[in-house]
Every structure is written in structure tokens, then in C-alpha cells.
Amino acid sequence: MSDELTNSQLGAMAYDPAPESASIARIKPAYGLFINGEFSDPSSHEAFVTLNPATEEPLASVAQASTADVDRAVYAARRAYDTVWSKTTGAERSKYLFRIARIIQERSRELAVVETLDNGKPIRESRDIDIPLAAAHFFYYAGWADKLDHAGFGPDPKPLGVAGQIIPWNFPLLMAAWKLAPALAAGNTCVLKPAETTPLSALILAEILQQAELPEGVVNIITGDGSTGAALVDHPGVDKIAFTGSTEVGRLIQQRVATSHKHLTLELGGKGANIVFEDAPIDEMIEGIIDGIFFNQGHVCCAGSRLLVQESVADDVLRRLIRRVDQLRVGDPLDKNTDVGAINSAAQLARIKELTAYGEEEGATRYTSTCSLPDKGYWFAPTVFADVSQSHRIAREEIFGPVLSVLTFRTPEEAVAKANNTNYGLACGVWSEKGSRTLWVAERLRAGVVWANTYNRFDPTSPFGGVRESGFGREGGRHGLEAYLNV
Ligand code: NAI
Ligand code: MG
């Protein structure tokens, strides 16, 4: 493709619409709370609506769990732990996890459409990444359930008991899988609270648990807002809290459980740096940067939201990057050709707009994609800021949207110093042909994950998690079991 191809020329070669059918989702008009193996009304009879962020149309009414409902769910989980699950052998637990994994695969098309409708992410991502990875997590931990003796935590590691799990809206089913699969494999029972803007795939998962004939009460799924989450955190019958979400709420939760017996793992925000050296393979690197920040609309805790590029190649990289950003197809998330979907909520869109306004105010140079945005729904055009300095808010704060901040460096030492100049520490990427340099840099980065010549690679066998204000504890891999064992 010529360097000079303009956006209007590209328009002439536009793809025809290729929409997936929304009717595959079969969403019910209303959902109750999944407690003790069945759906029931919340005690308050209160409900809220979850929207399709691409159209602002309501999808379903969802129950708002009160403190009394949280109590009922924790009680069900405790009874299931005492009477059934703690007496179930690892091989039996493994059988249930394999079943859940297989049913997720069987219902994957339906789950992908539900996820895209409720969250706004492109169907290409929910179909090829979220749902297959969720199944893969259950498969992976199914394999561990009867081998805990060999996981490196002593001869007979014990579960913690009842786990309270609170998840965010950016990868709804995948985060549910990250939380439930290792907890169940290790022998815990669970109360899971999905995020208020994306509860539907977790409620379909509740149906899948029924299909798999998982004993009642082993997993309870309760919907609600932050107050439901807070009631779960404070419940004295919970032995472990696992949270993924904002650093702000994570901090609050840490204070609340500090004086209790509860175990805690936190997976919080990030401000990941993608570090590009002058010898990096240019085309792969451009795609890696694009994927690092525009995957899932940038609603990714480990997003490569800062690009650190070596000064000698900075102009060339920026030029290619801006051209590529302009080619991203933004729009209908159900269209199989869409690259960037809708922003998840009005609140998140407002936050992105607020932070990007600071970018211009503080003197950075803004490049915004010339794509046209739909009239209805929550949308933000992919944006790149150049001439960013380390003191700028867009270089320090998590924007959690399709916005990249570009900074430059001259030496590897400077790259490391700038990459580490953040309160966060979740993920970084290093791009270079030279292995010794990549290792030298990786060793010095303060981040839980470092990718080399790639970005946003997820695999159930590989531990994921942060340092500093990005949280603590690992999910995935053998390490992910440790978070649910008394070791
Ligand atoms: P949030 O942290 O408020 O929400 C995450 C989950 O925590 C939701 O299920 C929510 O209902 C629950 N929650 C809220 N308040 C709670 C409380 N006091 N106690 C227990 N649970 C509570 O995040 P929000 O408001 O949706 O997003 C704000 C920002 O947080 C984003 O702009 C982004 O920067 C960051 N974020 C990071 C995520 C990550 O993956 N690390 C995921 C979501 C948001
Ligand atoms: Mg929604």
C-alpha cells in the first residue's frame, strides 16, 4: 500500500457491512440473582437496566442485590463449601471444570454476541479472543484440580473457603473465568459480582453452570453496583476477596479488609509503556503499538498507553502510526470488519474526554482519526498525542480509552527511567532486533509483565498481575492457584 493513500481513497475501497446477527444472543427481558443454583428475585425488588453502548438501547433489566441478598449468596457458598465442595475430590472438580469449558465452547457464538452487545467491543475480538480465552482458562485449571499436590505448594494444599470476586466491565466473561476457574480448581466456593454495565455474559454463564450440573451454591452470581461490591467485601463470611478494577476502589477495599482475616488480591490500573528502539522491525512494531492501545477501545488495564520511541526514528514512527490510526475502522461492534467499537459507558466517555482535553491544554500535539462516528451511542475517535512530556496528565493518568501518548528517548537508560516513571507497574513492551538489549531493558522495568516484540498476549498458562499501584497477586498459570490456596 502506498504511503500516500488518503482516507477518502480508502473510503472508495470500503468494506461492505458484514454484521453478525444480534438475534443469536437470545437475551431475556429480565434477570434475577443466581444464588444456590437458581435465579431468584432480589429482596428489595430493585433492578437496573444494562444498555448496548453502541446504540444506547436497553438490553435487559438486571437485579440490584442488597446487603440481605449478599448475605444469602455468601451463606449459600458457605453451605456448599462445608457440605459438598470441600468433600469433592480434585478429579471430580476437574470434571465439572471441563464440562463448563466445553459448554462455553458450544455456546461461544451466542456468548460473543452477548458480550459485544453489552460491552460495545468488536465482535472480532469477543469471538476470537474473549470467549476462546475464557474457555481456555476453564480447560487449563480443570487440568490442575487433581494435581494440586504437584503445584509446588506442599503435599496437600488447602482451599481458603468462600471467595468474593468483583470484576470490571472491560472483559466481562474473561474476567469471570480468570476468577472462577482457579478458585474452583483449588476447592473454594464463590460469590461473583459482575460490573453494572456488563452483567449479561456472567448471567449466561450462570445458565451454563446449571447445564454443567455444578452442585448448587458452589458458584453464586449476584448483580448490582458498587454498594453490592462493598457489601461483599465487608461480609464476615467471606475468606478471600479478589478484585479487578480501578486503583481508587482497590485502595478502599484494601483498607476495608486490612483488619480482617480475609486474603486479598488486587488487579488495578496501569500506564504501560511500549518502548521502541531504532532497530525494531517497523511494520510489526506499528501493528503492535496499534494493538497495544486500540484493542478493546483501550479499555485494557495493561494497555500500551505510552509510546516511548527512540529519537532517531521518532518522526518516521509517528508518521506511519498516524496513517495507520486513520485506517482503523470504527463503528458497529457487530460488524465483523470493525476494528474499534463503542466506549463502554457515558461515564467512561466523559472521563476520556476530560483527560484528553488536558492533553491539548498542557501543550501536546493532537492527531485524531478522521473516521466518522455514529450518531447514537458512546464513541471516541482513535487519538494520538505527540510532543508529550512526562509531567503531562496524559502521560501519568490512566485514560482507559483509545488514546496514545508519544514520548521520545535517546538511550536505553533514559527509556527505562521514563518507562518506570509511573506509580503503576502492570505491563510494558520492548521492540528491538537485539535480544541482549531487550533482556537488559526487561530486567530493569518495574512491571508485572514485559512483552518482547509483541503486545497484549494472553495465555492461561502465563501468570498476569502488577506491582506498585497496579496491585498484587497473580492470575493465570500455576501462580494463579496460589491466590486461592492457604499457602
Ligand atoms: P470501578 O473500580 O468502580 O469498578 C470495578 C468493579 O468494582 C465494578 O464491579 C464495581 O461495581 C465495583 N465496585 C465499585 N465500587 C466498589 C466498592 N466500593 N467496593 C467494592 N466494589 C466496588 O471502576 P469504574 O468506575 O468502572 O472505572 C473507573 C476507572 O477505573 C476506569 O476509567 C479505569 O481507569 C479503571 N478501571 C480499571 C480496570 C482494570 O482492568 N484494571 C477495569 C475497570 C476500570
Ligand atoms: Mg451494557
- What is the distance between the alpha carbons of residues 54 and 331, in angstroms, rounded to a whole number? 8
Sheet holding 189-193, edge to edge: 38-40, 33-35, 219-221, 189-193, 162-166, 240-244, 263-267, 471-472
Between helix 226-234 and helix 67-83 the angle, nearest 10°, is 50
Which residue's C-alpha cell is 464476615?
236
Mutational test site, ligand 1, from 225, 246, 301, 470, max ligand atoms within 8 Å of CB? 246
Ligand 1 pocket residues where CB is under 6 Å: 166-170, 193, 195-196, 225-226, 229-230, 233, 244-246, 249, 252-253, 267-269, 301, 348, 351, 398, 400
Q: Which residue has the higher pLDDT, 3 or 401?
A: 401
- Per the document, the length of the chain is 487
List all residues 6 or more positions away from 310 whose beta carbon is below 8 Å from its beta carbon.
276, 277, 278, 408, 409, 410, 415
C-alpha cell of 271? 500506564
As a whole-number percent, the residues of the chain with pLDDT over 70 amount to: 97
Q: φ and ψ at 263, to 5 degrees?
A: -80, 155
Ligand 1 mean position, distance from CA 223 (Å): 14
> Hey, which residues are catalytic here?
267, 301
Q: Which residue has the higher pLDDT, 12 or 23?
A: 23
Reported as a single tens digit per residue, the pLDDT across 158-197 is 999 999 999 999 999 999 999 999 999 999 999 999 999 9
**Residue 431: which H helix or E strand, with range?**
strand 427-431
**Residue 256: which H helix or E strand, with range?**
helix 247-257
Which residue's C-alpha cell is 460473543?
112
For residue 486, which amino acid is it? N
Reported as a single tens digit per residue, the pLDDT across 226-236 is 999 999 999 99
Task: Note the pTM of the prediction, 2 decimals.
Answer: 0.97
Handedness of CA 308, 314, 316, 321 (dihedral sign): positive
pLDDT band at 8 (very low <50, low <70, confident <90, very high): low
